């Protein structure tokens, strides 16, 4: 994976939804998901306004 941009696999804990999102890292070192998040949001049946926890490996 390139340090400044690339692909980010996102999977639910139970494995029922999985997408490959794209990200870009800004000059402030924060990453922004640029593609794929809305697909994951729909597949995982997430709801706007709810709180979710993510683990990064």
* Model pLDDT for residues 10-24, shown as the tens digit of each residue: 999 898 999 999 999
**Structural domain total, the chain:** 1
The pLDDT of residue 53 = 86
Structural domain includes residue 50: no
Q: Is 22 inside any structural domain?
A: yes
Residue 39 placed within a domain? yes
CA distance 31 to 49: 21
Residue 14 lies in a domain: yes
Residues 6 or more apart whose CB falls under 8 angstroms from that of 45 comprise 17
For residue 51, tell me if it sits in a domain: no
Task: State the residue range of the domain holding 38.
Answer: 5-43
Q: Quote the pTM value.
A: 0.70
Contact 28, 4 (CB under 8 A): no
């Amino acid at each position: 994976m390139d340090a400044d941009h690339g692909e980010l696999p996102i999977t639910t804990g139970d494995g029922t939804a999985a997408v490959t999102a794209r990200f870009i890292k800004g000059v402030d070192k924060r990453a922004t998901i640029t593609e794929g998040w809305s697909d994951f949001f729909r597949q995982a049946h997430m709801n706007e306004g709810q709180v979710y926890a993510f683990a990064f490996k």
